[in-house]
Amino acid sequence: MGNALLSFRESELYAPIQNWNQKGMALLTGERGIYRLALHWEYAFAQAGLRIFNLDCAIRFNPFVITQETRKRNVPPEPLLDRILVQRAFTPYQILDTLHRLLKEQESNTIYFLLAPCKQFLDGDVQEEEGIFLLHKMLHCLERFQEYRIPLLVIESVQYRHKNFQMFFPKLLQASPNLWELKIEEGLSRIKIRRSEV
């Protein structure tokens, strides 16, 4: 997984976020490598002076990806890491509460990342009917980020086989005006821009 990202040229690695207007929602999806790519993007935004709020729903945040980038560029890691706030959420209710709070307390000069949000809604402890109901509540929150033009990057895998995910994921894809897919084939990585808001 990590080696696949090394096949990117830097211009390709950052192209989607360089062309993103940072107004509303964007979705990065793929089978693998997407969370590592998201951390590279967090590094780029922090390096540009923006603050990052990372709602990590499946323990995907790895600060060493960011510090590795700082070492490559001889940049001190501490100032960049100070710009990144990570909050973990382990239940659908924690995710929803945080999204509601962020909508009320949105901060300027901040990019919001939502890593693996669907995973917690598919957990065996969540009944199927409750899970799909709560997924739709989350979608409503994400649509409000788009409506209010709050910059939000949702990073979600396509690998879940749960029937609720199969029903919900097309709605998530449809809700995002910016849709990027990370493809890794024969050890080479590329990002397909499926949809882009102008």
Residue corresponding to tokens 């449809």? 174
Question: Could you state, in chain order, the average pLDDT of each consecutive group of 10 residues for the chain (198 residues)?
Answer: 49 88 96 94 96 96 94 94 97 98 95 97 95 98 97 95 96 96 86 84
- Alpha helices per DSSP H over the chain: 2-5, 10-19, 34-47, 63-72, 77-82, 92-104, 128-147, 163-175
**CA 18 and chain centroid, separation:** 16
Answer whether 131's CB lies under 8 Å from 167's CB.
no
Q: Kindly tell me the sign of the dihedral angle through the C-alpha atoms of 39, 87, 110, 25.
A: positive
pLDDT score at 2: 40
Q: Count CA atoms closer than 13 A to 25's CA, side-chain side.
A: 23
pLDDT score at 1: 35
- The interaxial angle of helices 34-47 and 10-19, nearest 10 deg, is 70
pLDDT score at 65: 93
pLDDT score at 103: 97
Q: For residue 88, give the 3-state DSSP assignment.
A: strand
User: Could you tell me the two tokens for 136?
Assistant: 């739709």
pLDDT score at 8: 61
Domains of the chain: 2-195 (3.40.50.300)
